[in-house]
A = this chain, B = another copy of it.
Amino acid sequence: MARARVHNFHVSLDGYGAGETITLEKPIGEAQGLFAPFDGRFIDGLGGVDAPITLDRALTTTWSQGIGAEIMGRGKFGPQTGAWTDDEWRGWWGDEPPFRTPVVVLTHHRRDPLHFDNGTSFHFLDATPVEALARAVELAGGRDVRIGGGPTTIRQFLAADLVDFLHLVTVPLTLGAGVSLWEGLAGVEDRFTVESVTSPSGLTHQFWNRVTSG
Contact with B along A135-161 (1 / 0, CB 8 A): 000000001100000000000000000
B66, A193: Cβ atoms under 8 Å? no
B144, A209: Cβ atoms under 8 Å? no
A62 to B59, CA, bound (A): 9
A117 to B188, CA, bound (A): 47
Contact with B along A164-189 (1 / 0, CB 8 A): 01010000000000000000000000
Bin chain A's interface residue count: 20 to 34
A205, B65: Cβ atoms under 8 Å? no
Q: Which residues does chain B contribute within 8 Å of A61, judged by CB atoms? A: 61-62, 65
Q: Which residues does chain B contribute within 8 Å of A144, judged by CB atoms? A: 46-47
A128 within 8 A of B: no
A53 within 8 A of B: yes
Could you tell me the dominant secondary structure of chain A's interface residues?
mixed
A82 within 8 A of B: no
A50 within 8 A of B: yes
B65, A45: Cβ atoms under 8 Å? yes
Q: Interface segment, A22-30, A83-91, A195-203? A: A195-203
A165 to B57, CA, bound (A): 13
A209 to B65, CA, bound (A): 24
Q: Which parts of A62-108 form the interface with B (CB within 8 Å)?
A: 62, 65-67
A47, B197: Cβ atoms under 8 Å? no
A32 within 8 A of B: no
B55, A205: Cβ atoms under 8 Å? yes
* 21 A-B interface contacts by CB (under 8 A): A5-B46, A45-B65, A46-B66, A47-B65, A52-B193, A52-B209, A53-B165, A53-B167, A53-B207, A54-B207, A54-B209, A55-B195, A55-B205, A55-B207, A58-B167, A58-B207, A59-B59, A61-B61, A196-B200, A197-B198, A197-B199
